[in-house]
Each structure stands twice: as structure tokens, then as C-alpha cells.
A and B are shown apart, each in its own frame.
Chain A
Amino acid sequence: DVKVTQSSRYLVKRTGEKVFLECVQDMDHENMFWYRQDPGLGLRLIYFSYDVKMKEKGDIPEGYSVSREKKERFSLILESASTNQTSMYLCASSLNRDRTLYSNQPQHFGDGTRLSIL
């Protein structure tokens, strides 16, 4: 089974801090994604990557950046945390052997990081 591991289940930070959320997958998947999930708004895509060092903006990239230095690891960075970034953050991975932007393979999710910005 694919395992997607997020470094923290719960995290509390202060406004203005630089925050790193880490995600590791163990199935050699090409695609990796970062979402945030808020009540009433559902899952919203922040960034995704379909190869090492490749990244593409999702629907809500403002205030975030990402890093993919190794295939198995995808990091989400909050450059200067703000209270409106308090949310559940979910990482996912999927197969994409063609390394295109187009892949319909199932996404495998981690269990999320509940981030609170005070």
C-alpha cells in the first residue's frame, strides 16, 4: 500500500513565522500535491509537482511556496504565516509515468496537518 506521511498531525505557530510542512511518499510516485481543506470550502489545491524540481501553481498559491528536491519529498512553505492560513493541510501523491500535467490516477492522501496560526 502507498503510504503518504506528513511530518506533523498538529502544529501551532505564530503570525509572521516561516512554517515548513513536510510530506514523504514511499511509492515512487511522480505527482505530489498540497491542498488545504476548510469547512464549507472543501479541498483547494495550493501547488502540485509532476517531477523533481518541477512545480505548478494550483488555485490558491498566494502566501505559499513549495520545494521538491527529491522525488519522494514535497515541502509546503508558508513564507510569513497569517491567521487566515489556519487550516487542515493535506498532501497527496499519484502515478504519472509520462510526467505530463495530465494524469487521472487515484490520489493517495496523508492524514493531514492541522495548522493553527495564532
Chain B
Amino acid sequence: SQKIEQNSEALNIQEGKTATLTCNYTNYSPAYLQWYRQDPGRGPVFLLLIRENEKEKRKERLKVTFDTTLKQSLFHITASQPADSATYLCALFYPPGGSYIPTFGRGTSLIVHP
């Protein structure tokens, strides 16, 4: 079965640095990949979507890459701020034959220190 791996250990960085979070998957590549942010006690909030034929997607200080050879997506936050502290989830969507119902990773906690 498909497995999604996100670092279970929290990522601690200093304000102003670039945070990089990793989402690795096994077996076949998803057609789409999404990233969500989740704050404590709240539901996840959608951030970005990237398709398998796209290498990179940007939105303000956020950047997502998708490497189907490495079976990996990287999520970058540049000029990080303490307000960026949250858990970040990746979600994979597979084509028919699988399903477009998303499979979520367990998330990585990001802590940005002032």
C-alpha cells in the first residue's frame, strides 16, 4: 500500500531563515499533491496544490516542489516568522484506478523562534 512519510520530529528554526519540510511517498506517483497548515485545536487549511507535471509552485513566501524521480515534495517557507509555527500536512491524490480521495501524511511541526 502507499505510504507517505513526513518527519515526525519538529523542525526548529530561527526567524528569517528558510524552513524546508519534506513529504516522501512510496510506490507510484500521485497525480496531485497538496499542502495544508494546521494550528493547534483547528482544522487544516489548504495552502498549495501542485500537479505531477509541474516542478515548482509559488505563493508569496511559500514554494512547493515535486520530484517524481525522488518521490518527494519539498515545502519551503522563506523569511520565516513565528506566526508560521504550525503543523504542515501533505496530501496525495491518485488517479482513477486508485482514487482522488486524498491520503494525508501525519504532518511535521514547524517552530519558528524569534
Contact = CB atoms under 8 A, between A and B. Distances in A.
Contacts of B34: 104, 106-107
Interface string A78-110: 000000000000101000000011111011111
A111 B105 contact: no
A101 B100 contact: yes
| A contact residues, range | 20 to 34
Contacts of A41: 106
Given A42-B107, A92-B43, A111-B43, A104 B31 contact: yes
B49 A107 contact: no
B43 A101 contact: no
Most buried by A among B8, B49, B106, B107: B106
Contacts of B32: 104
B114 to A, nearest CB: 27
Contacts, number: 55
Contacts of B79: none
B25 to A, nearest CB: 14
Which of A101, A104, A109, A111 neighbours the largest number of chain B CB atoms within 10 Å of its CB? A104
Contact of B100 (A90, A104, A108, A112): A104
A58 interface: yes
Contacts of A100: 100
A107 B105 contact: no
Give the 5 A-B residue pairs with the shortest CB-CB distance, closest first: A109-B43, A42-B106, A106-B46, A102-B100, A43-B104
19 contacts: A4-B43, A40-B8, A42-B105, A42-B106, A43-B44, A45-B101, A58-B101, A90-B43, A101-B96, A101-B100, A101-B101, A102-B96, A102-B100, A106-B34, A106-B46, A106-B49, A109-B44, A109-B45, A112-B42
